[in-house]
Amino acid sequence: MKQSELFLKTQKEFPKDEVAYNAKALTRGNFIYKLMAGVHAYLPLGFRVRTKVERIIREEMNALGSAEVLMPALHPKASWERTGRWEGLKKIMYRLKDEAGHEFGLGPTHEEIVAELARFEIFSYEDLPKSVYQIQTKFRNEPRAKSGLLRGREFSMKDLYSFHTDEDSLAEFYERAKEAYKKVFARMGLTAYVTEASGGDFSKQFSHEFMVETEAGEDEVMLCRACQFAQNREITAAKAGDKCPSCTKGKLESVTCVEVGNIFKLGTKFSSPVKLHYKDNKGEEHPVVMGSYGIGVDRLVGTIVEVSHDDKGIIWPESVAPFAVHLLALGAMTPDLKKTAEALYTTLEAKGIEVLYDDREGLSAGEKFNDADLIGIPLRVVVSGKTMEQGKFELKRRNEKEARMMTEKELVAYLAK
């Protein structure tokens, strides 16, 4: 795409009212617009990153054998009263009334709703196990919404729900989901520690949180770097320096991590209240055993920025970068320069390579370089009077210092790989 045709006005300075680095960089780079605390719009660059994050999640959830659905955000009060969470979650669930006096909640999660609709899908043990997932907008009354995309009042989650005859079947799927989650995060360049945590409002059993180490995190985690055993501070009395209770070799460290995913064994907590039952092979009825598995989409975008940047700006991993290549035309936009840059742009686009072409007029080389570093596209290609004299282009990776000169043929071959 041509940069001049996009909503893509970067700002000269980091915004002064933001604390979290992801909020600063994503705002300055024009990826997002803050409508109010915890409520953001995705601008074209940000939307492209988000779409790639979603695509990776979808691919791994589909590979788990789960099918995508989409549940609504507006929930009737009755659905939440059945499980007691209309009261239990009243602090975080936004509520509203229509003129007829009906009360609704804006869903912060979907255990109640998915259990309700699964009654029309699951009747017998032959219908199990099954799972469905959605990527959907959730709402949460969040007084401390000040960490950019890490903690929103309106945010997108991938939530998956699984249905089983018994705990063994759940445990088998739970382990497969854990592996799928590890793949999701690894594909985005993130190291996520599988951390034991409390079940919160969801389960009496321990749950597992996927924690990425970053200064912007809010949870304290006891981590053994030797064996990667990790426990949320809230469920352990262990201190930093203690021997690791898992491998008994390493020592525990106290780190702060942001939570990018969580998985819960729900048991029959949500199936029993709506009578989501199945018949076994003797015709006897039992409540369905459930699991729930979340990944924060916006939170992932924010976390990637937190862990992958330098003092000039963001460094996107290739897998989620808004574009693969940032093509800069530098110096006065002479007909020759335009022609050379446009020709390369067209060639690359025709090969299916995603190019952001900085065709803006009247900007200095320094301004264009600064924007490119801030935006953080993995590969930068420069066309200028100088490179044209040599009949070449300059290629530089965002995460390397050295640039190299290439002919068009070499460059196209390199990028097509």
Pairing of the two strands 192-197 and 207-213? antiparallel
Using DSSP, state whether 34 is helix, strand or coil.
strand
Q: Which of 28, 50, 52, 85 binds a second copy (CB under 8 A)?
A: 50
DSSP secondary structure letter of residue 37: T
Examine residue 323 and tell whether it contacts a second copy (CB under 8 A): no
Q: Which of residues 28-47 bind a second copy (CB under 8 A)?
A: 30, 33, 35-36, 39-44, 47
Q: Is the dihedral of CA 38, 291, 71, 185 positive or negative?
A: positive
| 324 touches a second copy (CB under 8 A) | no
**Per CB under 8 A, 60 contacts a second copy:** no
Which phi-psi region, left, alpha or beta, contains residue 152 (left: φ > 0; alpha: ψ -120 to 50)?
beta
Beta strands in 147-188 (DSSP E): 154-164
259: helix, coil or strand? Answer: strand
Provide the minimum distance between the beta carbon of 266 and a second copy in the complex, in angstroms, as a whole number.
18
Q: Is 172 in the site for a second copy (CB under 8 A)?
A: no
Residue 391 sits in the site that holds a second copy (CB under 8 A): no
143 binds a second copy per the rule CB under 8 A: yes
Q: Examine residue 6 and tell whether it contacts a second copy (CB under 8 A).
A: yes
CA–CA distance, 50 with 155 (Å, rounded to integer): 12
Chain centroid, CA 2 distance in Å: 26
Reported as type and span, the H/E element at residue 93 is none
Cβ at position 251, least distance to a second copy in Å: 43
Question: Which is nearer to a second copy, 140 or 208 (by Cβ)?
Answer: 140
| 14 near a second copy, rule: CB under 8 A | no
116 contributes a contact to a second copy by CB under 8 A: yes
Count of residues near a second copy by CB under 8 A: 55
Please name the residues in contact with 84: beta carbons below 8 A apart, sequence gap of 6 or more: none
151 binds a second copy (CB under 8 A): no
Q: Check: CB of residue 130 under 8 Å from CB of residue 160.
A: no
Give the interface with a second copy as residue ranges (CB under 8 A).
Answer: 1, 5-9, 30, 33, 35-36, 39-44, 47, 50-51, 65, 67-76, 79, 91, 94-96, 98-100, 104, 106, 113, 116-118, 120-121, 123, 130, 132, 137, 139, 141, 143, 153-154
